[in-house]
Amino acid sequence: MFLDEFEPKTLTDFVINKNIAHRILNQSGLFNTVLYGPRGVGKFTLARKMINHYFNDYNFRIKSDTVFDNKINQSKYHYELFVTNYNYKDKQSFLKTLDEFSSNKNVSNGENNVIIIKNADLLSRNNLLILKKFSERNDKFVTFILTVKNYSKLRSVLGSFFSTRVPVSNESVIIDYLRDKLTEKKILGLGVQELSKIIKNNDFNLTSIYIDTEILVMKNNLPEEKNQIKFKNEINKFTKRIVNNIFAIDYEELRNNIYELTCRNIEKSEIINLILNKLLRCDIDERLKYDFIEIAAKYSHRLMLSNKEVIQLESMCYEFIYVIRMFKE
C-alpha cells in the first residue's frame, strides 16, 4: 500500500517535513513534546520517528492491545493512545491508563516509557491537568509526545512541553515526492496536473493524497513492478470477512466486522483502501471494479469532512452491496 511504502523509513529520508526531521536529528534527547498542525500533515509519523531515532531502532514491532477497554498500540519502547470524541472521557480511566505505563522504568532499556497520544486536544481539561502532573512527578517514569490540531487548548496547561508546528507542505514539494516514489515503483502516466488535483481535492492531507493516488493508479491500470499488499493476519481476517459479507449481502455481520476492524487502531481512511484492494482482487466484472473505485474515492473524501467515520465506512459498504445487486439484476 502507498500509505506504508511512501512513509519515510528514517529521519534522513524525509522530503516532506524535511526541516522538522533534521531538527529532531539534532536533538540531544527525547523530551515532552507537542507536535501541532492540521490533519494529515505527518505529525504522527514524525512522533514515531522520534522514537526510532532516539533508541536507534527502525525495525521494532508494534502490536495492538486493550487496556481498560481502550485499544492501544505498543512496542518495547513506547505506547500509543488514540483519543476520539468517545473515549478517555472518564478521569479515573485515563489516570489508571497513565499509571499503568509510568510507574516503573522501561524494563528493556532502563529509560522512561514513552507515550504517544494522538489527538490529545480532544482530552478534557481535567485529563490534560492529569497529564501535566504525571510529566512533573519524580516517581513517574514517562515522556509524552502529543499530536494535536488545536494547540491553543494545551498551551496554558502544558506550556513546559517543547512544541513544534508541523505546517501544510508546499504543493510542489508533495508533487515532486509523489513523482519520485511512483518512478521508484516504475509507475508512469500520472502528470503534474493530475497529482495537483488530488492534492487540492484532499486539502493537502497526506494520508488521503496517498490513498487517492493509489486508487487512480489502479483505476488507470498503470504498470507497477510490484502490486503485492502484505496484511497483518488479524487485519486481513476481518477485511476478508467484510468482503464476503458484501457479496453475501449480510448486513448484520458486515456491521460487526467493520466494528472489529475499526477497533484495530487503523486510520479509517486506510480501511477504505484495505477493503477496496480486496474487492479489486475478486473475480468480478471490470465494470464493477470501476464502480467500486469511484465509490471508495467518494467516501475517502467524505471521511475528511465527517466526525462519524464508522458510519461512513458502513455507508460505503452498503453502496458496494447496492451496486452488486443492481449489476446482477
Q: What is the pLDDT of residues 61-84, one digit of tens each?
A: 888 888 887 888 899 999 999 988
Alpha carbon 56 to its chain centroid, in Å, reads 23
Give the N- to C-terminal CA distance of the chain in Å, as an integer. 34
In a domain, 260, yes or no: yes
Say if residue 111's pLDDT is above 90: no
Decide if pLDDT at 15 tops 90.
Answer: yes
**pLDDT for residue 146 is more than 90:** yes
Task: Give domain status of residue 315, yes or no.
Answer: yes
Q: Is there a domain that residue 191 lies in? A: no
Q: How confident is the model at residue 227 (pLDDT cuts 50, 70, 90)?
A: very low
- Residue 191, beta-bridge partner list: none
What mean pLDDT is predicted for residues 99-117? 88
pLDDT value of residue 32: 94
- Both 22 and 128 in one domain: the answer is yes
What is the per-residue pLDDT for 199?
93
Q: In terms of domains, do 159 and 240 share one?
A: no
pLDDT of residue 171: 95
Nearest residue to 198 (alpha-carbon basis) of 226, 177, 183: 177
Closest C-alpha to 97, from 122, 119, 79: 79
Single out the residue of 275, 297, 295 nearest to residue 201, CA to CA: 297
Radius of gyration of the chain (CA): 21
Measure the CA–CA gap between 137 and 142, rounded to whole angstroms.
9
Integer angstrom CA distances of residue 288 from 42, 118, 272, 282: 34, 37, 16, 10
What domain count does the chain have?
Answer: 2
**pLDDT grade, residue 230 (50/70/90)?**
very low
Residue 130 domain flag: yes
- Predicted confidence at residue 225, as pLDDT, reads 46
Same-domain status, 158 and 75: yes
Give the span between the Cα atoms of 275 and 207, in whole angstroms.
16
Q: Among the listed ranges 122-131, 197-206, 277-286, 302-311, which one has the minimum average pLDDT value?
A: 302-311
Same domain, 140 and 278: no
What integer pLDDT is reported at residue 221 of this predicted model? 63
- pLDDT confidence bin for 54, thresholds 50/70/90: very high
- Determine the pLDDT at residue 47: 95
Cα 84 to Cα 307: distance, rounded to the nearest angstrom: 10
Find the mean pLDDT for residues 119-138: 91
Mean pLDDT, residues 51-60 taken together: 90
- Residues in contact with 228: Cβ distance below 8 Å, sequence separation at least 6, in sequence order: none
**Amino acid at site 172:** S
What CATH number is attached to the domain comprising 95?
3.40.50.300
Distance CA(143)–CA(113), nearest Å, equals 6
User: Is residue 299 scored above 50 in pLDDT?
Assistant: yes
Out of 165, 197, 219, pick the residue that ends a domain: 165
Residue 44 pLDDT class (50, 70, 90 cuts): very high
**3-state secondary structure at position 274:** helix
Structural domain of residue 27, as residue ranges? 17-165
d(CA 238, CA 230): 14
Q: Does 210 map to a domain?
A: no
CA dihedral 100, 105, 110, 113 (to 10 degrees): 50
Predicted model pTM: 0.68
197 within domain boundaries: no
CATH code at 276? 1.20.272.10
CA distance 110 to 108: 6
Strand partners, 67: 70
**Domain stops at, among 165, 191, 214:** 165
Contact 185, 224 (CB under 8 A): yes
Mean pLDDT of the region 135-158: 89
Q: Which pLDDT does position 228 carry in this prediction?
A: 37
DSSP, collapsed to helix, strand or coil, labels residue 50 as helix
Whether residues 27 and 151 fall in one domain:
yes
pLDDT for 233? 66
How many C-beta atoms surround the C-beta of residue 85 within 10 A? 9
Q: Residue 143: inside a domain, yes or no?
A: yes
